[in-house]
Amino acid sequence: EKAKWPKETVELWERLSKKEANDVETVQKSIVHHVTTTLARAAYNMDNFSAYQAVALSTRDRLISRWNETQGQLSKADPKRVYYLSLEFLLGRSMDNALLNMGLKGTYGKGVEQLGFNMEDVIESEVDAALGNGGLGRLAACYMDSLATLDYPAWGYGLRYNYGIFQQRIVDGYQTEYPDYWLNFDNPWELPRLDISIQISFGGHVQSIQDEYGVTRHNWIPAQSVQAIAYDVPIPGYDTENCNNIRLWRSKPTKTFDLTSFNEGNYEKSVEDATNAEKITSVLYPNDNTMAGKELRLKQQYFWTAASLHDIVRRFKKSRREWSDFPDQVAIQLNDTHPTLAIVELQRLLVDEEMLSWDDAWEIVTKTFAFTNHTVLPEAMEKWSVPMFEYLLPRHLQIIFDINLFFLQKVEKKFPNDRGLLNRMSIIEEAQPQQIRMAHLAVVGSHKVNGVAALHSNLIKTTIFKDFVDYYGEDKFVNKTNGITPRRWLHQANPKLSKLISDTLGSDKWLKDLSLLKKLTTKIDNAEFRKSWMAIKRHNKVRLAELIKIRCNVEVSPDALFDVQVKRIHEYKRQFMNILAVIHRYRTIKSMTASQKASVQPRVVIFGGKAAPGYYIAKLVIKLINSVAAVVNQDPAVGDLLKVVFIPDYNVSVAEVIVPASDISQHISTAGTEASGTSNMKFVLNGGLIIGTMDGANIEILEEIGEENIFIFGCLAHEVEDLRHAQRYRGVPMDPALQGVISAIEKGVFEDPKIFQPLISTLTVGKDFYLISADFASYIAANQAVDTAYKNQEEWSKKSIRCTANMGKFSSDRSVKEYADDIWGIKSYPIVDEGHM
């Protein structure tokens, strides 16, 4: 196109599209420009929020240049790309992260301060992008940061929900939910692509006809359709010009569709249909690790996978390659079973629309997809009822039945005469009504299946996917231990520690090669260094104490041991066991003489996390924590020896304050239930010790940091089954200490005991599914070991440094490299800095 232009025009464009300079004045000019034009404000009429908006707009300009340059160069080179399909991207705030990754934080900081604003306050004005529930969504965000930082050609695909995860407030000790309308003030971190609109259809019926060669062709005649509109979120890498993209889809009514009803004279119906179209991307489902089975959720999943695949296929077609080259150009990663319909949709596009043979199409499909499993909990396994599915996606249902038929025929060939096996492996569960097992479909349609920590990857091979391992062989099932981005979780969240590390190691290279932290080990015996290390922890604790004062109106001493459990509230994560142990601690202190009390290690127990709105037992746990806090915090017999707080509305930006301030954090799931956990990695990276069970990634953290630096307790995964059996059939009595705690609750020490009866019932002998009683004694002992260890601050500081020093493995850079090499077959593609805007 450039070639058509006269030389002068080309030169003019080149001259005017030179990249902006990185000096303070240039930055300030751009900020002021946005204040006076985009925001239409006067300089003296500004608050922190409008300052934030202006800085954000200026940051966004630079992001867009990098995004354009990266996408332009990648379009030309057209290397193999990975597409990460995730219904959740829990990004949190963007501005601080973008400035740090682009190396512009210092310049912007200076510029903003000179303009009369405090950079931290400006940063704090940003609302979180909370388009996720917990670990799964945050993992997607960490992986996007690593993919960009490592210069991998990668796009994320997700949904642009109008409402993210609900806001949690505590009213009378109970969780109450409020809508998170995060788009109230325009979102500067997205680029609406109103020109990119894809029609997505639902319902109707299938027409089967013979073509001229006598082959039966299936034609889906849908009943309705909506539009998918693209919104692009730029993801800048750290210390690179590469800037990747997350494309989020928004649903809109189609114009033609409105008109049909309208012309039929049914104005009301046409407006109703339009509203229904917008509903699809209205709200994020707030359940984690449970399956709700709602029709709207299925609509979300199809809307998103169909739009994404259409986009991916369109991009592939531009290169005019053979269809058989598709898996050499495209890798698609399924983040849990939520995007599994993409497998069916690609098969449908290839067979029905591109006229490939079934077998050729299926080979392409299975070479393209890979699937990550995040849980073994049965209640989390996605299943869709066949009648509901057929109503929404009739042609896709036929294809699923065909996939299943051909698959079971092969299983039958390999393992003849085993009806039980066929029943177990079938994609269709023979229930009333029949159910589609999405995990089976995902395994059958993918070339690799991975778990998210070593233990978990082994567990899925021996439990939920055992038959599939027997059929496909071991090689299809691999482990990819989760990781976290050190850019957000250390450099951004803990700037003082980041600086100390860079000063000590002589560079900030460790931020791109986390194994370099190992060198900190040489500083462990340096008292001066340990002092600086602990001073930073104390600074971070003061900051958290301020947040606790503001959010909970409780004063806590930064000299006490800060004990943290923050994560989604779930029975398997055992926050209940934690608060029961806190009650035990409270009762112990109450029974002490003054001189005994003098040797108690003061502790602040900090909880945070959301419960799914319909999860009654989890919500009662929150109520119990708050009831215990109310009693303990005002008991003069306890004073500063024990404080309990529940920090409301835990989210990514609150985590950024909590994680660097923790002395000990709790990762105490029943062995075999937490697939990996990722906050365990965040805490240890920040020099916080952990107490935990032999579950998920705790095991690998232990291997890296050494057993003397972690507090492990409780039964092992392989013991769980026997323990449950013994409980149920041999009536093992409740642990006596636990019995004492339960009696205290039942006596009404913490509000009306009737409230907590359903919670206590979960501990009834034979019904304690999560083995709180079985693990209770060892849990109490481990907590005592923590107290004892903490009293020796010199030794503790050595443990703390050793923790951070040995966390190299848990960078998401390592995880993403493993995916790239072993699953996706993609190479990094650093873009060339041509000095363009």
Indicate the residue among 411 and 681 with the shorter CB distance to ligand NBX.
681
Identify the residue among 66, 374, 448, 512 touching ligand NBX (CB under 6 A): 374
Identify the residue among 71, 375, 479, 804 touching ligand NBX (CB under 6 A): 375
Indicate the residue among 98 and 452 with the shorter CB distance to ligand NBX.
452
Known catalytic membership, residue 76? no
Identify the residue among 288, 311, 663, 735 touching ligand NBX (CB under 6 A): 288
Specify whether the CB–CB gap between 734 and 760 falls below 8 A.
no
Between CA 57 and CA 186 the distance in angstroms is: 11
Indicate the residue among 134 and 236 with the shorter CB distance to ligand NBX.
134
> Minimum distance from CB of 694 to ligand NBX (Å)?
14
Residues in 518-577 that interact with ligand NBX by CB under 6 A: none
Known catalytic membership, residue 682? yes
Residue 498: alpha-carbon gap to chain centroid: 24
Known catalytic membership, residue 481? no
Between CA 444 and CA 425 the distance in angstroms is: 10
> Minimum distance from CB of 467 to ligand NBX (Å)?
23
Indicate the residue among 111 and 135 with the shorter CB distance to ligand NBX.
135
> Minimum distance from CB of 140 to ligand NBX (Å)?
9
Stretch that binds ligand NBX, among 149-157, 194-202, 283-291, 825-833 (CB under 6 A): 283-291
In a 10 Å sphere around its CB, with 0-12 CB exposed, 13-18 middle and 19+ buried, how is residue 445 labelled? buried
677: left (phi over 0), alpha (psi -120 to 50) or beta: left
Q: What does the H/E/C string look like for 25-49?
A: HHHHHHHHHHHHHHCCCCCCCCCHH
User: Does 675 participate in binding ligand NBX (rule CB under 6 A)?
Assistant: yes
Identify the residue among 692, 696, 714, 808 touching ligand NBX (CB under 6 A): 696
Specify whether the CB–CB gap between 164 and 187 falls below 8 A.
no
> Minimum distance from CB of 483 to ligand NBX (Å)?
10
> Minimum distance from CB of 679 to ligand NBX (Å)?
8
Residue that the structure tokens 């089967």 belong to: 208
Indicate the residue among 80 and 374 with the shorter CB distance to ligand NBX.
374
Strand pairing of 642-647 and 603-608? parallel
Catalytic residue, chosen from 568, 574, 623, 724, is: 568
Catalytic residue, chosen from 541, 573, 667, 724, is: 573
Q: Supply the DSSP string of 669-702, one letter for each residue.
A: PPTT--S--SHHHHHHHTT-EEEE-S-TTHHHHH
Specify whether the CB–CB gap between 666 and 582 falls below 8 A.
no
Identify the residue among 109, 111, 134, 158 touching ligand NBX (CB under 6 A): 134
Between CA 694 and CA 713 the distance in angstroms is: 7
Amino acid at residue number 112:
V
Indicate the residue among 484 and 544 with the shorter CB distance to ligand NBX.
484
Which tokens is 519 given?
């060198």
β-sheet with 435-437: strand ranges across: 383-385, 435-437, 428-429
Indicate the residue among 139 and 298 with the shorter CB distance to ligand NBX.
139
Helix (H) or strand (E) holding 323: none
Between CA 230 and CA 251 the distance in angstroms is: 9
Indicate the residue among 109 and 609 with the shorter CB distance to ligand NBX.
609
> Minimum distance from CB of 445 to ligand NBX (Å)?
19
φ, ψ dihedrals at 206, nearest 5°: -115, 130
User: Does 244 participate in binding ligand NBX (rule CB under 6 A)?
Assistant: no
Indicate the residue among 289 and 626 with the shorter CB distance to ligand NBX.
289
Q: How many positions of this chain bind ligand NBX (CB under 6 A)?
A: 19
Between CA 383 and CA 87 the distance in angstroms is: 16
> Minimum distance from CB of 461 to ligand NBX (Å)?
17
- Residue 807 is classified by DSSP as -
Residues in 448-467 that interact with ligand NBX by CB under 6 A: 452
Between CA 6 and CA 687 the distance in angstroms is: 61
84: left (phi over 0), alpha (psi -120 to 50) or beta: beta
Catalytic residue, chosen from 34, 338, 374, 440, is: 374
Tally DSSP H helices, then E strands, for the chain: 34, 24
Residues in 749-808 that interact with ligand NBX by CB under 6 A: none
User: Does 678 participate in binding ligand NBX (rule CB under 6 A)?
Assistant: yes
Identify the residue among 28, 30, 227, 287 touching ligand NBX (CB under 6 A): 287
Between CA 451 and CA 160 the distance in angstroms is: 27
429: left (phi over 0), alpha (psi -120 to 50) or beta: beta
Specify whether the CB–CB gap between 620 and 578 falls below 8 A.
no
Identify the residue among 627, 676, 693, 812 touching ligand NBX (CB under 6 A): 676
Which tokens is 610 given?
């959301």
Catalytic residue, chosen from 567, 570, 619, 802, is: 567
Between CA 447 and CA 475 the distance in angstroms is: 10
Q: How crowded is residue 524: how many other Cβ atoms within 10 Å of its Cβ?
A: 16
- Residue 808 is classified by DSSP as G
Residues in 478-517 that interact with ligand NBX by CB under 6 A: 482
Specify whether the CB–CB gap between 727 and 717 falls below 8 A.
no
Residues in 57-116 that interact with ligand NBX by CB under 6 A: none
Known catalytic membership, residue 799? no
Catalytic residue, chosen from 107, 149, 375, 678, is: 678
Identify the residue among 111, 135, 394, 608 touching ligand NBX (CB under 6 A): 135
Identify the residue among 35, 112, 136, 283 touching ligand NBX (CB under 6 A): 136
> Minimum distance from CB of 449 to ligand NBX (Å)?
14
Indicate the residue among 133 and 498 with the shorter CB distance to ligand NBX.
133
Indicate the residue among 107 and 133 with the shorter CB distance to ligand NBX.
133
Identify the residue among 677, 692, 714, 808 touching ligand NBX (CB under 6 A): 677
Residues in 630-669 that interact with ligand NBX by CB under 6 A: none
Specify whether the CB–CB gap between 132 and 88 falls below 8 A.
yes
Active site residues: 374, 567-568, 573, 678, 682
Give the residues lining the site for ligand NBX (CB under 6 A).
Answer: 133-136, 139, 287-289, 374-375, 380, 452, 482, 674-678, 696
